Structure 1
Amino acid sequence: MALAPKFVGQKFASGLSPKTLHTVELYLDYVCPFSKKMFDTVYTKVLPTIESTYASRLQIIFRQQIQPWHPSSTLTHEAGAAVLRLAPDRFFAFSAALFARQTDFFDVSVVHETRNATYKRLAAVAGEVGVDEGALYGLLEVPGKPGEGGALNIGNKVTDDVKVMVKANRLVGVHVTPTVIFNGVVENSISSSMTKEQWEEWLAKNIV
């Protein structure tokens, strides 16, 4: 599936040749433990291999997959959308930092704080990787007063971006996280438990 230019930070692509380009899409949720496991392996161990060996033949796209039964999932992915607005080149670094603090945003960890308080903590995570913390919070904050015409259900400044992400993911019917799509087709042979060596074996077999 195509990627909107404003979401370019979700893509890891180095020295690409459009004639021989494969695409691996990772559908991940920031508060899913299995998504964290896959991201950690890919980010720290697989991306360097891709950059050194498959740079002209493969691109990786991180698709943000909100799992609504965890309300904080929406808030964390809104933060990801805000990073894409402000500093798309920091998106993968932000994602790594957020996954490292994943349990800080689990249900029990957020239940006693306001939505904007959670946003402030997410902005602090972004600040740790070089994103303007104040600007990011400004995109996430929900005003404490009605909007134009007395509107109450006004969202924040990345609500429309999240709507686009959700619409795109619904088109391909992804439900479970993580889900991997290879060249437009679900790749069930890839799981969160795959090691660096197993990833390298899969890459050698499929990226030709």
Structure 2
Amino acid sequence: MSLPPKFHGQKLVAGDVAPSPHTLELYLDYVCPFSAKLFRTFYHDVKPIIAEKYHTRLQVIFKQQIQPWHPSSTLVHEAAAAVLKLAPEKFWEFSDVLFKKQTDFFDLSVVNETRNETYKRLAALAASVGVDSEKVFQLLAIVPQGGESLNSGNGVTNDIKLMIKANRVIGVHVSPTVFFDGIEERSISSSFSAAQWDEWLRNNVA
């Protein structure tokens, strides 16, 4: 599937950059435990396999899948969008941190703080991977605009709109969802081990 150039940080670089005949898309939500499980195995155990065996035949794209029944999902994805804008090479590393810290942004963890307070905590997480927390917060913060601009969003609202529109066009609903070469790949489970991933890659990409 195509990827807007400004979102190029969502593409996993696991080896030499080369044209790839196959595309794997991972639709993940940062506050979804099953997404965290899939990401953890994929990023830490499967990425090295792809770098070694399939880097010229497979491109992998992280697609941000906001789940609106968890209001904090939008906020966490906005933070990832800010990092994607400021330091696209840090997107996957920051995603790893977000998944590790996901319970800090579950419903009960954010219910008693303001939106901007949540953004400040997310900006601090961005600093842990070397991204300027002040610049991240500037993109995220909701600040008075003057006049009647009471619903103007923040510095990544337009990017989030594009992400949501792209996901809706192909009908992605739950997380995690995996697409392979433009078709939903339901055989891939969030419980896949590295060995199962290796077998799947061998059967479908090699």
Q: Distance in 1 between matches of 2:43 and 2:8?
A: 17
Q: Distance in 1 between matches of 2:37 and 2:179?
A: 17
Name stretches of at least 5 consecutive residues in structure 1 with no aligned partner. Answer: none
Give the C-alpha shift of residue 94 in structure 1.
0.2
**Seq. identity, %:** 60
Are 1:70 and 1:107, in contact at CA under 8 Å, matched by a contact in 2?
A: yes
Matched residue, 1:187 = 185
Q: Deviations over 1:65-121 (max 9, x none)?
A: 000000000000000100001000000100001110000000000000000000000
What's the TM-score, normalizing by structure 1?
Answer: 0.96
Structure 1 residue runs of 4 or more that deviate by more than 4 Å after TM superposition = none
Q: Distance in 2 between matches of 1:16 and 1:97?
A: 25
SS state at 1:175 partner: coil
Q: Deviations over 1:152-204 (max 9, x none)?
A: 00110000000000000001100010000000000000010000000000000
Aligned residues: 205
Matched residue, 1:69 = 69
Q: How does 1:1-208 map to 2 (within 5 A)?
A: 1-13=1-13, 14-18=15-19, 20-143=20-143, 145=144, 147-208=145-206
The residue type paired with residue 22 of structure 1 is: H
Are 1:24 and 1:59, in contact at CA under 8 Å, matched by a contact in 2?
A: yes
Give the C-alpha shift of residue 150 in structure 1.
1.6
RMSD (CA atoms): 0.9
Q: Distance in 2 between matches of 1:184 and 1:33?
A: 25
Q: Distance in 1 between matches of 2:154 and 2:96?
A: 24
Are 1:16 and 1:57, in contact at CA under 8 Å, matched by a contact in 2?
A: no
Give the C-alpha shift of residue 151 in structure 1.
1.4
Give the C-alpha shift of residue 148 in structure 1.
4.9
Name stretches of at least 5 consecutive residues in structure 2 with no aligned partner. Answer: none
Q: Distance in 2 between matches of 1:121 and 1:21?
A: 40
